[in-house]
């Protein structure tokens, strides 16, 4: 009788362990999804800011013809670090997730 009780307890413990493992995997998956969504939002915001900045510079360059051309082709350092160029932004060759 003691052995049967022990087997029953072990079976219940295994079931609880499996349930906890599944719950942990779901939580881990949810956390990873949230991290990816957050990163995508940050990148989207950064690309939108850069696009807006470039459009604004182009508009200003049209108003002031004597402004240097080099400034309209420069990007912010964070965008350069991740490999975004003016050509990438204008041709929309980037992923927004």
pLDDT of the residue at 23: 98
- C-alpha 10/C-alpha 51 separation (Å) is 61
Structure tokens at 84: 């975004």
Condensed to tens digits (0 to 9), the pLDDT of residues 15-40 reads 999 999 999 999 999 999 999 999 99
Sequence-ordered list of residues with C-beta below 8 angstroms from that of 90, at least 6 positions apart, any chain: 54
**What confidence tier does 59 reach under pLDDT thresholds 50, 70, 90?**
confident
């Amino acid at each position: 009788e003691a052995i049967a009780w022990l087997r029953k307890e072990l079976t219940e413990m295994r079931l609880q362990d499996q349930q906890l493992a599944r719950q942990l995997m779901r939580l881990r998956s949810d956390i990873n999804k949230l991290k990816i969504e957050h990163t995508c939002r940050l990148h989207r915001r950064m690309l939108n800011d850069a696009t807006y900045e470039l459009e604004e510079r182009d508009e200003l360059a049209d108003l002031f013809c004597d402004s240097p051309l080099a400034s309209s082709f420069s990007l912010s350092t964070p965008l350069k670090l991740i490999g975004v160029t003016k050509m990438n932004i204008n041709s929309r060759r980037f992923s927004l997730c």
